[in-house]
Amino acid sequence: MTTTSSKYRVIGTRPVRPDGVDKVTGRAVYGADVVLPRLVHGKVLRSPYAHARILSIDTSEAEAIPGVLAIITSKDLPGATASANLGEGGEVNLAHLSANVLARDKVLYTGHAIAAVAAANPHVAEEAVRRIRVEFEELPPVMDVRYAMTADAALLHDTVFTDTAGEKASEPSNVAAHLIFEEGDLEKGFSEASIVVEREFVTATVHQGYIETHNAVAEWRSDGQLTVWCSTQGAFPVRTQLSHLLQHPISQIKVVPAEIGGGFGGKISVYLEPLAAILSKKTGRPVKLMMDRAEVLMATGPTPGSYMRVKMGVNAEGQITAAEAYLAFEAGGYPGSPIGAGCMTVFAPYRLQNVRIDGFDVLVNKPKSNAYRAPGATQAEFAAEVVVDELCEKLGMDPMEFRLKNGAKEGDWRAAGPPYAVVGNLECLEAAVASDHWKSSLEKQGADGKLRGRGVASGYWFNVGLMSSCSGRLNPDGAITLLEGSTDIGGTRASIAMQFAETFGVDYDQVRPSVVDTDSVGYTEVTGGSRTTYATGLAAHEMALAMKQRIRDGLATIWEVPAESITDERGTYTSGDKSADLKQVAQLFAEAGMQAQVSVTVNPTGHGGAFATHIADVEVDPDTGKVEVLRYTAVQDAGTAIHPSYVEGQMQGGVVQGIGWALNEEYVYDERGQLRNASLLDYRLPTTLDVPLIETIIVEVPNPGHPYGVRGVGEVPIVPPPAAIANAIYDAVGVRMLELPMSPPRVWKAIASQNGA
Amino acid sequence: MRDIQYAAPRSLDDAVAILSEFGNRARILAGGTDLIVQIREHVRDVDVVVDGKRVSELMELSYTPEGGLTLGAAVPCAVVYQNADVVRAYPGLVDAASIIGGTGIQGRASIGGNLCNSGPAADSIPALIAYSAVARIAGPRGMREVPVEEFCTAPGVNVLQEGELLVSLHVPAPPAHSGGRYLRFIPRNEMDIAEVGAGAFVVLDESGERFVSARVAIGAVAPRPLFVPEAGAALAGQPVNDESLAAAAAAARNAAVPIDDQRGTIEHRKHLAGVLTKRALKGAIDRARA
Amino acid sequence: MSTELLSGKVAISATVNAEPATFVCEPRESLLEVLRDRLGLTGSKEGCNNGNCGACNVMLDGRLVNSCCVLGVECAGSEITSIEGIGGTDGLVPLQQCFLEGAALQCGICTPGFIVAAKALLDQNPNPTEHEIRWWLAGNLCRCTGYDKIIRAVQEAAQQMRG
């Protein structure tokens, strides 16, 4: 389970994280914990309808309630028409983002924000929200992706025209985009196949499920300085969004990232921050807004539900000859589902010659979708991995052998994107084959008529690089202050400090990392995209090199020797008979009126993609349809595991989210488009009792694009579980589950139908 | 939350008085794990919450081998399942008390409150019915008793009139060779509302091979928890075997009138009513034979 | 009628983290709101506000409760222990130390609830099985860790506490 990074001094060890004591004692300050003098509280009015025109809004009754200080609607948001690159999601349509923050002429999903109130306390604010009178013209809700694509469905926008590979259609549509990826000769490929499997799949909308709800505190001062504290994966992207949405100079906006209680991609777009800002401007007071759980589920950014068709053909030797996918993702009320990423990952584990992928970004009356851990890949690879499993069955071929035979590796071309650089797909498969889990036998019969089975699935996520900054200085006691802008969601303060310590030649506890605000460090992209340990770690490494150089240059002046004559070893700098440890360096510098202080920004493109192979053992109760996960092993290529405990943690956390996605999580809408389960009672996250211990095997195929070989690890672990479990269910009871979640009523029904009941 | 007022009466008479004064604008607050959430989510409109936990009768928990169990309406589940007498004599009640919500819920939630909330899927009610529990009610016109199977009338609605409150539940002492069991089917392994629940209580003859009597109740398959006398009738005097259990299961399936909702389908629930009845009976039989 | 009807601002005296505390709150404020907004004890968190996630766990009169499902005004004369009352100036208790060393937290938002809940378990069952630990903690949701390292940390702490 542990790695073999013994060639490093700090990297590969498991030190305690620097923010840990605060987090186990309740002292850490999350967004909802921020208090300011004269703070007032806000609440949001949300649409009761899935699809409607707003005819009028009357706030007079609400304004009259004692304690109500201000009420805002979309007319308080400046018009926004440009688009901006906000990071992981690519180009963002700011008009859509603005209307998502506060609806303009239409509401496009139940829970869509319409107005916001600031009042003396949250209870009064809530009362005021309930007294705002809105007149609606109800429109027919469009709740299903396939229906949305037909001519019958009401149009959500008359300004959205299908973009097919760059060409815009002339009539508006609910299909915002049609992506096409094509190579080779599909017809020829299928004609060469001796076995072809084609299956249809449906997956439900699923939420990231972070335990901390969204929050924002804003203080808009009379001099125009706006400070925002919020739970966010990226303080800089929030700042950029606010500047655009509020049409306020970006240099006058400071975003302070509070500690964050989970994000998984869902805390990148702004929701409450602009509302808090405008309410603060209007009231002259700092304003705090928090979402409750129902609001989070109804009105933030879940990952799309989907309809998919995957068709693959293999020849008699078990080689894939052709692969075809039709992927339709529910974007929600505004365009921008991760359909591109879905297309780019669907067949990623395989070497292909003949392939065609059609992807559709489809509008439906559900909340605007957002990133959720390897966005789009879990849906797409679920479909492909289940088809692969069926191909293996028909071939009579072991699923690991099939994947090794067809597995993509360095230099292989792929359907969407450049050829693979150094990747660890085959290494993961080999490690999986060698694992205790794979070698163990599984009794088919459990107790009381239950049946057991084993399934495997591969996964891939490409990860990203993007911009990160670090700055730091040497303290008089020889310790180094390291300032970075990556919110610490999963222990990255430690992994970043470890990389600095490794390069700089000091012990881990001589580094004092801090996550700071947008005034105090250079531009840093989101903590997301599996980029933080890679890119911000790279920035820390570069910063260590820069600081060493700064010290050498300073000592060269002080000692009057050439800088090249100065060597360093474990924090001691030497030239001839002169030598200084870091504490002495600091003193020498101070006496000379200098400070060892550097800033670095990186924008690396050498990020490495991550492969994974997962093995799941399940037990199915055919009488009820209940599926238990008995044993689960996640094998994953981490490049180099900087802090193995946190790499394991990413793997285990992603796996359990994937198990929830596979078995029980789904948005349930009624025919009127009302979300029936906007609560953690009926939106069913896995509990401690629902999962076993998760075995992890970290494979290390170092990424040449990083000095320590780091690959992003956070996202790929959520990709294989639904397919691994579906394949295990098939092994147990002989039914192919093609719909997520594989909840007991569905599993039971599938078994009963098969038995001719 | 809306503005509410709070009262903490110290006697049963005071509790009745304040409930009578405010009628249906007041409600007893026991554990609060249902009521507080319902007021917050605007599911129940309540102006006055009347805290029952300072009224000693509502906090009583006593057991005698002759008289059986008196369980005050506001006694938390955690106290119930840590009580040695209850664990020994009423394991089916303990089954229910230990799966209502999670540990934190059980630190406050009471079986009496679970009954008064009158959810069709309430976990305690099929168990109470199986054990022949009786509800003791106080009101402006004095005390009265209602068998638990008659207490709930519709989802969230029960026989309590304005000014009345549930004081305690009385559960008869179990005879020799008897056992009770409650179980439910949920999609996860905890923290869910039952998709279907089944409570069973059996009395066996001395050999343990024949039923003397049995009581079966099912939950989450009708507007209120259902007592299924036909299931008991199918077992009385019958041998303990697959056939008799199947007959009882069939009676439960027939009695079930479930709906499709986001927790289950009609088909699945009908099927589960039979499966769970059989499993609950088996569990009760094992306990009766122990 | 001899029962007082409390409304508006009510003064309540209780013992919070072993010290006498008096707070003023409205009947509609939950104990969670009182702890966070009236007493400045922000360690307990709101995750769901309906008893389904355990992020607000505190000990109330010796029992583990969800403070979002308790009203502040119900707590007159009660003893309340929140995360702030565990460890502190005396240092960390074994559970806290084991969570840190075992990397049993990632974002940390659920950690206070887990520590309060796990401490309640170990106080009454010093040698729980894995199943008993999972059962007791089923009301504490974590979305980051997948629970594996949390369970191990509780087992490790239990072992240390047994000596």
Q: How many CB atoms lie within 10 A of CB A679?
A: 18
**Among the partner residues A35, A292, A649, nearest to C103 by beta-carbon distance:** A649
Q: Which of C66, C119, C123, C124 to mutate to test binding with chain B, by most B CBs within 10 Å of its CB?
A: C66
- Answer whether B215's CB lies under 8 Å from B129's CB: yes
Q: Let me know whether B70 and B103 are in one domain.
A: yes
- Cis peptide preceding B187, ω within 30 of 0: no
Instruction: Evaluate whether residue B30 is within a structural domain.
Output: yes
Domain CATH code at residue B39: 3.30.43.10
- Per-residue pLDDT tens over the stretch B66-86: 999 999 999 999 999 999 999
Instruction: Evaluate whether residue B205 is within a structural domain.
Output: yes
Min Cα–Cα distance to chain A from B141, Å? 38
- A-chain residues within 8 Å CB-CB of C81? none
C-alpha to C-alpha distance for B171 and B166, rounded to whole angstroms? 14
- A-chain residues within 8 Å CB-CB of B192? 681, 684
Mean pLDDT value of segment A139-152 = 97
pLDDT > 70: percent of chain A: 98
**Among the partner residues B36, B53, B191, nearest to C69 by beta-carbon distance:** B36
- pLDDT at A4 > cutoff 60: no
Min Cα–Cα distance to chain A from B264, Å? 6
pLDDT band at A1 (very low <50, low <70, confident <90, very high): very low
Enumerate residues 6+ apart whose C-beta is below 8 A from A627: A618, A619, A620, A621, A663, A725, A729, A742, A744, A747
- pLDDT at C89 > cutoff 90: no
Global pTM?
Answer: 0.98
Dihedrals φ, ψ of A696, to 5°? -125, 135
Alpha helices in chain C (DSSP H): 31-33, 94-101, 111-124, 130-136, 148-162
Min Cα–Cα distance to chain A from C163, Å? 22
Mean pLDDT value of segment A346-368 = 97
State which H helix or E strand residue A431 sits in: helix A425-433
Residue A429 is predicted with a pLDDT of 98
Report the half-sphere exposure of A278 (CA within 13 A, side-chain side). Answer: 25
Q: Let me know whether B157 and B200 are in one domain.
A: no
3-state SS class at A310: strand
> What CA–CA distances, in Å, run from A675 to A43, A139, A333, A368?
20, 17, 14, 14
Neighbors of chain A by Cβ distance (3+ pairs < 8 Å): B, C
Nearest residue of chain A to residue C148 (CA atoms): A693
> Looking at domain C94-162, which CATH architecture does it have?
Orthogonal Bundle (1.10)
Enumerate residues 6+ apart whose C-beta is below 8 A from A580: A555, A572, A573, A588
Mean pLDDT value of segment A126-147 = 98
- pLDDT at A529 > cutoff 70: yes
- pLDDT at A88 > cutoff 60: no
**Yes or no, beta carbons of A293 and C49 under 8 Å apart:** yes
**What ipTM was estimated for this complex?**
0.98
pLDDT > 90: percent of chain A: 95
Dihedrals φ, ψ of A425, to 5°? -60, -55
Min Cα–Cα distance to chain A from C61, Å? 21
**Among the partner residues C29, C100, C141, nearest to A685 by beta-carbon distance:** C141
- Per-residue pLDDT tens over the stretch A728-753: 999 999 999 999 999 999 999 999 99
Report the half-sphere exposure of A150 (CA within 13 A, side-chain side). Answer: 8
Residue C2 is predicted with a pLDDT of 74
Q: Is C90 exposed, middle or buried (0-12, 13-18, 19+ CB in 10 A)?
A: exposed
Give the position of tokens 């009770």.
B180
C-alpha to C-alpha distance for B75 and B100, rounded to whole angstroms? 14
Min Cα–Cα distance to chain B from C163, Å? 26
- pLDDT at A81 > cutoff 70: no
Instruction: Evaluate whether residue B220 is within a structural domain.
Output: yes
pLDDT band at A414 (very low <50, low <70, confident <90, very high): confident
Mean pLDDT value of segment A357-382 = 98
Give the position of tokens 């079986």.
B111
CA triple A745-A748-A751, angle to 5 deg:
150
Residue B188's domain comprises 178-285
**Yes or no, beta carbons of C3 and B189 under 8 Å apart:** no
- B-chain residues within 8 Å CB-CB of A681? 191-193
Instruction: Evaluate whether residue B290 is within a structural domain.
Output: no
- pLDDT at B189 > cutoff 60: yes
- B-chain residues within 8 Å CB-CB of C52? 101, 191
- pLDDT at A89 > cutoff 80: no
- pLDDT at A6 > cutoff 80: no
- Answer whether A482's CB lies under 8 Å from A512's CB: yes
Start-to-end C-alpha separation, chain A: 45
C-alpha to C-alpha distance for A454 and A468, rounded to whole angstroms? 42
| Chain C contact present for B105, CB below 8 A | yes
Specify the DSSP class assigned to residue C38: I
**Among the partner residues B191, B262, B275, nearest to A623 by beta-carbon distance:** B275
Write a three-state SS string for A84-112.
EECCCCCEEEHHHHHHHHCCCCEECCCCC
**Yes or no, beta carbons of C1 and B37 under 8 Å apart:** no
Instruction: Evaluate whether residue B124 is within a structural domain.
Output: yes
- pLDDT at A82 > cutoff 80: no
Nearest residue of chain A to residue B276 (CA atoms): A624
C-alpha to C-alpha distance for B39 and B46, rounded to whole angstroms? 7
Dihedrals φ, ψ of B166, to 5°? -75, 125
Q: Let me know whether B128 and B22 are in one domain.
A: no
- Answer whether C109's CB lies under 8 Å from C77's CB: no
Min Cα–Cα distance to chain B from C107, Å? 22
Q: Let me know whether B28 and B118 are in one domain.
A: no
Start-to-end C-alpha separation, chain C: 57
Q: Let me know whether B136 and B153 are in one domain.
A: yes
CA A679 to chain CA mean position, Å: 22
- pLDDT at A418 > cutoff 90: no
3-state SS class at A317: coil
- Per-residue pLDDT tens over the stretch A110-136: 999 999 999 999 999 999 999 999 999
Q: How many CB atoms lie within 10 A of CB A105?
A: 9
pLDDT > 90: percent of chain B: 100
Q: Residue A363's closest CA among A158, A104, A81, A669?
A: A158
Q: Domain extents for chain C?
A: 10-85, 94-162
Interface of B with A in 271-290 (CB under 8 A): 271-272, 275
**Yes or no, beta carbons of B264 and A745 under 8 Å apart:** yes
- Per-residue pLDDT tens over the stretch A572-621: 999 999 999 999 999 999 999 999 999 999 999 999 999 999 999 999 99
Number of Cβ pairs < 8 A linking chain B and chain C: 120
Q: Let me know whether B192 and B114 are in one domain.
A: no
* Single residue among B171, B188, B217 that ends a domain in this structure: B171
Q: Are strands B226-227 and B211-219 parallel, antiparallel or unpaired?
A: antiparallel
**Yes or no, beta carbons of B101 and C74 under 8 Å apart:** no
**Yes or no, beta carbons of A645 and C103 under 8 Å apart:** yes
Q: Which of C71, C83, C122 to mutate to test binding with chain B, by most B CBs within 10 Å of its CB?
A: C71
* Single residue among B137, B171, B205 that ends a domain in this structure: B171
| Chain B contact present for A690, CB below 8 A | yes
- pLDDT at B182 > cutoff 80: yes
Q: Which of B27, B36, B39, B100 to mutate to test binding with chain C, by most C CBs within 10 Å of its CB?
A: B36
Instruction: Evaluate whether residue B93 is within a structural domain.
Output: yes
**Yes or no, beta carbons of C6 and B5 under 8 Å apart:** yes
Interface of C with A in 23-82 (CB under 8 A): 26, 28-29, 36, 40-50, 52-53, 55, 82
Domain CATH code at residue B194: 3.30.390.50
- Per-residue pLDDT tens over the stretch C95-144: 999 999 999 999 999 999 999 999 999 999 999 999 999 999 999 999 99
Residue A2 is predicted with a pLDDT of 44
3-state SS class at A525: coil
| Chain A contact present for C86, CB below 8 A | yes
| Chain B contact present for C89, CB below 8 A | no
Q: Which of B2, B3, B5, B16 to mutate to test binding with chain C, by most C CBs within 10 Å of its CB?
A: B5
Domains, chain A, in order of start with CATH, read: 20-27+465-602 (3.30.365.10), 34-139+212-261+267-299 (3.90.1170.50), 306-463+608-754 (3.30.365.10)
Min Cα–Cα distance to chain A from B34, Å? 12
pLDDT > 70: percent of chain B: 100
C-alpha to C-alpha distance for A182 and A355, rounded to whole angstroms? 6
**Yes or no, beta carbons of C28 and B102 under 8 Å apart:** no
- pLDDT at A413 > cutoff 90: no
Q: Let me know whether B92 and B35 are in one domain.
A: no
| Chain B contact present for A104, CB below 8 A | no
* Single residue among B171, B199, B225 that ends a domain in this structure: B171
CA triple A529-A535-A541, angle to 5 deg:
160
Residue A415 is predicted with a pLDDT of 78
- Answer whether A633's CB lies under 8 Å from A432's CB: yes
Domain CATH code at residue B134: 3.30.465.10
Structurally, chain B folds into a number of domains equal to 3
The CATH code for residues C10-85 is: 3.10.20.30
- Per-residue pLDDT tens over the stretch A11-66: 999 999 999 999 999 999 999 999 999 999 999 999 999 999 999 999 999 999 99
Nearest residue of chain A to residue C48 (CA atoms): A293
Average pLDDT, chain A: 96
